[in-house]
Amino acid sequence: MNTVNTQAEVVMSSTHVDVLIIGAGISGIGAAYHLQKHCPDKSYAIIEARSAVGGTWDLFRYPGIRSDSDMYTFGFNFKPWTSSKTIAPGDEIREYIAEAASENGIDKHIVFERKVVSTSWCSKTALWTTQVENLASGEIEEFTSRLFYSCAGYYNYSEGFTPEFKNAASFSGQLVHPQHWPQDLDYTDKNIVVIGSGATAITLVPALAQSAAKVTMLQRSPTYMASRPSEDALSNLLRRVLPAKLAYSINRWRSVMFGIVTYRLAKAKPERLKHYLIGQLKKALGSEFDVKKHFTPSYKPWDQRICAVTDGDLFEAINNGSADVVTDHIESFNSSGIALKSGQELKADIIVTATGLKAELLQGFKITVDNAVINPADHYCYKGMMLSGLPNFVLSMGYTNASWTLKSDLVSEYVCRILKHMDKQQHDFFMPALPTTPLDDEPIVDFSSGYITRALKMMPKQAKQKPWKLHQNYILDRITLGYTSVNDDCMTFNKRGAKPA
């Protein structure tokens, strides 16, 4: 790397690669693998703010953390998941991602402890110039690349979402957000209140209940839940009798089809699915438990994700008395816990705010195209992976109704197809361009989860018309991203020097 001193006396280094990948989580490692396999002549680097691979799975270290998707669909399409656990704990997922990076030499391309500050496109050179902060030294480093590929996810790694609770400062105990779990936190024989009822809360509650005095899950409203075994008998049988790749492929497609059928049933016959889910909860919790109050949501199944309760551990904790559920609204905090609007008080030594993520697309860094600042919310999302008016720019976005990796693998393969097409036609850049006729807008995600609704105003738009509509359907995306031409009516190709239309 060559270094120069700027007027501000900040040391800058400059590196050029064909593809700059942002994030060394499951999307970023997958992107690098597909690039190496399908475009071996292309150079790349991965920018990672943390000191290790894994992304989400390196960040979140709270007790009991696990996947809420099966690993046959959450795993890479190129690396079989060989563990007997279909629903895997966080440390196993982290090891799986690190293993994929090491096995394929991807780890040698990762630049750790670097944070993207800004990125700018220049039409004269047909290059992105990305400013990256070295978190250890504070120096600014510069990367130029032909393609900018964001695999950084959709939420803020620095902070989670915590509502403003009245008198929160008066609480004399410990207040913890799961995104920043203190590894030395001793919760043995403590009274704990976990605020929330999403995937994080239903994972934390049974894990904490194993050694805490009592754990209370405090929710404003119920969430749909379904017990799911950590191991699947048929999947494990197939792994024993078939070659690893074949067994993985069969199990992957079984899971894909089950997810698609369940989602379609939820949309076509929501009351039928609701009746089934509530019926299973009544069996798990017994006739004495008030399932209607605590586990019957007001919305339809799959208006928000259905939370998987691994091996029914949450229900077991409720049944044995180590955990309970309170459905109420918070009036205020006090020195000893939480006062509820019903008049009830919850005593607590520790309060855990499992209140969700703080969504932040593209990690909040500045984007410019020929010196014009880009606001993603002003642009339409093309095929769920690019933004209108941004040349040589790709972002990896997964599904809301299925595993993230299913879509990210397809996006990476598509990127390789479009790079090959440009090389063959001697183009320097591609760019999705809006049609001349107006589009019929829709929210980019048809989901009522809090972290989604809070972020909609910051998200790109989608339309009812293709290719500006996200399908949320793996089979349809597999066809359209894998087999249709990359040169459609809404994709433009050009040479350096040409201004994006």
- pLDDT computed for residue 361 by the predictor: 73
Of all residues in the chain, what percent carry a pLDDT higher than 90? 74
Which has more pLDDT, 141 or 455? 141
Whether residue 7 has pLDDT greater than 50: no
- pLDDT computed for residue 4 by the predictor: 37
Whether residue 452 has pLDDT greater than 70: no
Whether residue 24 has pLDDT greater than 80: yes
The C-alpha atoms of residue 141 and residue 154 are separated, in whole angstroms, by 24
Average pLDDT of the residues in 375-383? 90
Retrieve residue 252's tokens.
């992957």
Retrieve residue 99's tokens.
């293993």
Whether residue 61 has pLDDT greater than 60: yes
Average pLDDT of the residues in 34-61? 95
Q: How confident is the model at residue 32 (pLDDT cuts 50, 70, 90)?
A: very high
Instruction: Say if residues 59 and 49 touch (Cβ distance below 8 Å).
Output: no
pLDDT (tens digit per residue) in 323-360: 999 999 999 999 999 999 999 999 999 999 998 877 77
Out of 3.40.50.10860, 3.40.50.10490, 3.50.50.60, 3.40.630.10, select the CATH number for domain 11-158+358-494.
Answer: 3.50.50.60
Residue with tokens 């459905």: 327
- pLDDT computed for residue 437 by the predictor: 87
pLDDT (tens digit per residue) in 162-204: 888 999 999 999 999 999 999 999 999 999 999 999 899 999 9
Range of weakest confidence among 89-103, 148-162, 364-378: 148-162
- pLDDT computed for residue 6 by the predictor: 38
Backbone region of residue 250 per phi and psi (left: phi > 0; alpha: psi in -120 to 50; beta: other values):
alpha
At a CB cut-off of 8 Å and minimum separation 6, what does 135 contact? 49, 113, 114, 115
- Across the chain, what does the average pLDDT equal? 90
Q: Which fold has domain 168-353?
A: FAD/NAD(P)-binding domain (3.50.50)
Instruction: Say if residues 341 and 330 touch (Cβ distance below 8 Å).
Output: yes
pLDDT (tens digit per residue) in 250-283: 999 999 999 999 888 888 999 999 999 999 999 9
- pLDDT computed for residue 8 by the predictor: 37
Whether residue 318 has pLDDT greater than 90: yes
- pLDDT computed for residue 12 by the predictor: 67
- pLDDT computed for residue 13 by the predictor: 74
Domain residue extents for the chain: 11-158+358-494, 168-353
Q: How confident is the model at residue 1 (pLDDT cuts 50, 70, 90)?
A: very low
- pLDDT computed for residue 451 by the predictor: 54
Q: Residue 5 burial (CB < 10 Å; 0-12/13-18/19+)?
A: exposed
Domains 11-158+358-494 and 168-353 share a fold: yes
Residue with tokens 């018309």: 465
Please state the pTM of the whole predicted model: 0.91
- pLDDT computed for residue 123 by the predictor: 94
